[in-house]
Amino acid sequence: MTTERHYSPADRLLLQADAALRTLLPFSGQPYRPSPAITRPDVEMNDDDARHVAGLMRINHTGEVCAQALYQGQALTAKLPQVRKAMEHAAEEEIDHLAWCEQRIRELGSRPSVLNPLFYGMSFGIGALAGLVSDKVSLGFVAATEQQVCKHLDDHLQQLPAEDQKSRAILEQMREDEQQHAESALDAGGLRFPAPVRFGMTLLSKVMTKSTYRI
The answer to the question of residue 132 being in a domain is yes
Task: For residues 32 and 27, give the distance between their C-alpha atoms in angstroms, rounded to a whole number.
Answer: 13
Residue 39 placed within a domain: no
Q: Tens place of pLDDT for every residue, the chain, 215 residues?
A: 444 456 566 666 666 666 665 666 666 667 778 899 999 988 889 999 999 999 999 999 998 888 888 877 877 776 667 666 666 666 677 788 989 999 999 999 999 999 999 888 888 888 888 777 777 887 887 888 888 888 889 999 999 999 999 999 999 999 998 888 888 878 877 778 777 777 777 777 788 888 898 88
- Residues in binding site for Fe cation: 64, 94, 97, 146, 178, 181
Residue 32 belongs to a domain: no
In a domain, 168, yes or no: yes
Structural domains counted in the chain: 1
Q: Which amino acid is at 204?
A: L
Instruction: Please enumerate, by residue number, every residue annotated as part of a binding site.
Output: 64, 94, 97, 146, 178, 181
Give how far the C-alpha of residue 158 lies from the chain's centroid of Cα atoms, to the nearest Å. Answer: 20
- The CATH number linked to 104 is 1.20.1260.10
CA–CA separation, 87 vs 84, rounded Å?
Answer: 5
Residue 150 falls within a domain, yes or no? yes
| Residue 35 domain-assigned (yes or no) | no
